[in-house]
Amino acid sequence: MDKLKSVLSGEEARTQDRTQNRTVLETVNEASTLGWTTRLKGFVACFVLGAACTILGVCMLFLPRVGVTLFIVFYTFGNICALGSTMFLLGPLKQLKKMCDKTRVLATTIMITCLVLTLCAAFWWKNFGLALLFCILQILSFTWYSLSYIPCVREAILKMVAKCF
């Protein structure tokens, strides 16, 4: 009966027009909607996995010969999981827009570049000193990126550092 009403009133044609005018990203975003409890569970699971990988990576650092390599892999994977966990809360499209916001774009670029360079230094260039340097830069850039979500904190840190020097 509802279908007959929509056809007779012309609502079906308007619905089809709206469906055809949507972009691909809007379609994907609508298709991937999750309930709030599912989003929260996904966030917690991904964040805990990221934290566990990071802690496991730090523990692996002290193993002879393979410790640095395992640290780099686990630490980088942990950061990727932690970053991906926020996509459960906001949704992928909204998270990517927030990451590319003018206040975060530099930190995001440095963070992703350091993630890639860490893996390149470890596996392609076989330079573990450089890989550890990139891990440190990952920590700093991820921290700076995370602080951008707390209002006025980054400005306060910059003022504090300026007073010290």
Q: For the segment 149-162, what is each residue's pLDDT rounded down to a tens digit?
A: 888 888 999 999 99
CA distances, 12 to each of 16, 18, 64, 163 (Å):
6, 10, 67, 64
Higher pLDDT, 14 or 56: 56
Q: Which helix (H) or strand (E) holds 127?
A: none
Retrieve residue 72's tokens.
């780099």
pLDDT tens sequence across 102-140: 988 999 999 999 999 999 998 899 898 998 899 999 989
pTM, entire model: 0.70
DSSP state of 3: H
